[in-house]
Structure 1
Amino acid sequence: MRFPRRRRDPVEVNLTPLIDVVFLLLIFFMVSTTFETRQALELTLPESVSGTAAEPSPVTLVVTAEGGYRLGGRDLAAAALPAALAAEADQAREHGLVVEADARARHADVVRALDQAAAQGIRQVRIATTQGGAGDTSTQDAETP
C-alpha cells in the first residue's frame, strides 16, 4: 500500500514581530532620553588679570554682542528685562548675580542690566571675565549702589 506523502510547508521566519519590537525599543529610547536644552551662546568675555575664580551662581544674566539679554534660559528684549529680573530677584539677592557680558557688547547694554539689578535691590553683582589669555572664567566683584 502506498501512503501519500504529506507536503511540508517551507519553513519561514516571520520578521514582522521582530520589526515591531525594534520599533518599540526605538520609540522607548527616544522618549526616555533627555537632551541638553541649553543653547550655547558664543561669548567672548573680556580679559582680566586681577579676577578671582568664579563661583557658580544660580542667577546668570548674559548680555550678547547684539544687545540682547538671556536670563534663566530665556532670550529677553530690553523691555522684558525688569520683569524677568524681578522674578529672579530673591535668589539673586541671596546668592548674587553674575553678569556675563560679551566683550563686543555695548557699554549701555551692560549698564542697563546693572541698573535693573540695582532697582531690584540686588547688591552683590559679579562680572564674568576670562583670565588673562588662559581662557579660564573668573569674576570681578562689584557693589551696586
Structure 2
Amino acid sequence: MKFPRTRRDPVEVNLTPLIDVVFLLLIFFMVSTTFETRQALELALPESRAGGALPVSPLTVVVTAQGEYRVGERTLGEAALTEALARQVERARAHGLVVEADARAAHADVVRVLDRAGGLGIERVRIATRAQTSTQAETP
C-alpha cells in the first residue's frame, strides 16, 4: 500500500523579531549604565609631611601646569575663574576651598586663585598635597 506523501513547506526562521529584541536590550543597557564623567588630570601634587584628609567635600579648584583652571568639570581661563567661584561662593564659605595645583604650575596662577577667593570672602583655603614618601631624605 502506497501512502501519499504530503509536501511540507520549508522551515524558515524569521530573524526580524530576534534583532528587534537585541536592539531593545542594547538600548536598555546603554541608558541604564552610568558613565564616569570626571576626567582624570595628571597632576603632580607637591609633598607634605603634615597633611590630613578632609571630613567634608569642599569646593575644589584645579590649576594645571599649562595655567588652566578647573572648577567641577569645566575648564576655565583666567577671565571666567571669578565667575565660577562666585557661583559657588556659599559652598566654599561653608566647607572651604581646596586648591589642587600641579607641582609644575606657575606660582602666579596659584596666587591668582587665592586672590580671587579672598576677594569673594572665602577664608578657609587649603592647598592639596600628597603624603611624603618615606624613601625621600628628610630635611630639618
- In the superposition, the TM-score normalised over structure 1's length comes to 0.85
The corresponding residue for 1:70 is 70
Between the aligned residues of both structures, percent identity stands at 71
From the superposition, tell whether residues 52 and 3 of structure 1 become closer, same or farther in structure 2 (CA, over 3 Å). closer
Q: Which residue of 1 aligns with 2:80?
A: 80
Q: What are the equivalent positions in structure 2 for 1:40-79 lying under 5 Å apart?
A: 40-79=40-79
8 Å CA contact retained: 1:48, 1:129? yes
Q: Deviations over 1:56-102 (max 9, x none)?
A: 42310000000000002110001110111000101000000011000
Q: 1:109 Cα shift?
A: 0.2
Greater Cα offset, 77-86 or 30-39: 30-39
RMSD: 1.7
Residue of structure 2 in register with 1:139 after alignment = none
The aligned counterpart of 1:116 is: 116
Shift of 1:31: 1.9
Assess if the C-alpha contact under 8 Å between 1:49 and 1:132 holds in 2: yes
State the alpha-carbon separation in 1 of the partners of residues 130 and 100 from structure 2: 10
Compare the two structures and name the one with the higher strand fraction: 1
Which region of structure 1 is more displaced relative to structure 2, 59-68 or 19-28? 19-28
| 1:34 and 2:70 are equivalent in the alignment | no
Measured in 1, the distance between the counterparts of 2:105 and 2:53 equals: 22
How many aligned residue pairs are there?
134
Q: Is the 8 A contact 2:56 2:95 kept in 1?
A: no
Question: Which residue identity does 2:129 align to in structure 1?
Answer: T
Following superposition, the deviation at residue 27 of structure 1 comes to 1.4
Partner of residue 89, structure 2: 89
Written as runs of structure 1 = structure 2, the 5 A alignment for 1:12-31 is 12-31=12-31
More displaced 10-residue stretch of structure 1: 69-78 or 4-13: 4-13
Q: Which moved more, 1:1-10 or 1:77-86?
A: 1-10
Which sits farther off after the overlay, 26-35 or 115-124? Answer: 26-35
TM-score (norm 2): 0.88
Counterpart for residue 138 of structure 1 = none
What is the alpha-carbon distance in structure 2 between the residues aligned to residue 17 and residue 51 of structure 1?
61
Q: Which amino acid aligns with 1:83?
A: E
